[in-house]
Amino acid sequence: MSADQQDVDAIVASLNLEEIDRNLYRGHPPYWERGRLFGGIVAAQALAAAYGTIEDIHVHSLHSYFLRPGDPEIPVIYDVDRIRDGRSFATRRVVARQRGEAIYNLSASFHKVEEGFDHQADMPDVAAPADAPSPADFGLTPRDYLPSLWALDGVPIEIRNFHGPDDWQPGVHQRNMWIRANGTVPDDPTTHRLMLTYLSDLTLLGTAVRMHAKDFEHIMAASLDHAIWFHRPFRADEWLLYSTTAPSASGARGFNIGHFFTEDGTLVASAVQEGLMRDISPR
């Protein structure tokens, strides 16, 4: 087994939560988490906890708030509230806690598959993953695209970014990159939704930041809220174009929208996030 596959397996294992009582679950982060928990893992585990109370129905949207930084050295407790079970829809609320305090709050809606109207926006015209720049083309390693707090031996995500570290254009509010799990994910559709939830927290806030700064060196940044809509089936271990825009920044907050497309141009999910982006440059 390759090291990359072991990293993907570590994420999948972290999404298999321990049920400690009815509606109550315990989650542990992957081994590479350091300093503070990556928001994507808390969001994915919270959704996994909600799924623990659902049968034969899939999430179509989630809305959430990051309340406090998470500590990777201790487990996270997920408390699920079964708000509603209807004939077509179900709703769950999940509160993630550490040391008795809420660090994350999620509401998720689940919908039984049914037929209906269908249309979508077009995918941006970009090079295919095989023709997109690799990290080496920019003098980087795969690790350079991942959170700096992660340990150096965890590379669970593969990225083909069209924008290098020196390709900074102030005022450009759209960015595109190809992204996928860096290994094989089990066939269960639920796991792929959880994995996309994990992936969706990468680079989204950075879209707004890069409108104003080359990097995060003098920016205090943190995700404040996060929402995802799941439109169509997909696999998280196949290339997805993550096309992000930052329509607004004001009041020390940046607003970001992202769309996920498969290689054939199918729009499979959309994400929205507002984040703190406070200028702490020396005066």
Annotated active-site residue 6? The verdict is no
Comparing C-alpha atoms, which of 275, 253, 127 is closest to residue 202? Answer: 275
Tell me the three state secondary structure of residue 95: strand
The question of whether 270 is a catalytic residue gets the answer no
Least Cα distance to 76 among 116, 42, 48 occurs for: 42
Q: Are 47 and 26 spatial neighbours (Cβ–Cβ below 8 Å)?
A: no
- Cα–Cα distances in Å, from 131 out to 39, 67, 137, 140? 30, 40, 11, 17
Which one of the listed residues 98, 223, 243, 270 is annotated catalytic? Answer: 223
DSSP code string of 148-187 = TTS-TT---EEEEES--TT---TT--EEEEEEEESSPPPS
Residue among 214, 211, 180, 181 nearest 275 (CA)? 211
**Cα(238)–Cα(183) distance, integer angstroms:** 9
Q: Is 14 a catalytic residue?
A: no
Q: Which two tokens stand for residue 159?
A: 């990225």
Residue with tokens 């066939």: 187
From 14, 45, 201, 270, active-site residue: 201
Residues that are catalytic: 201, 223, 273
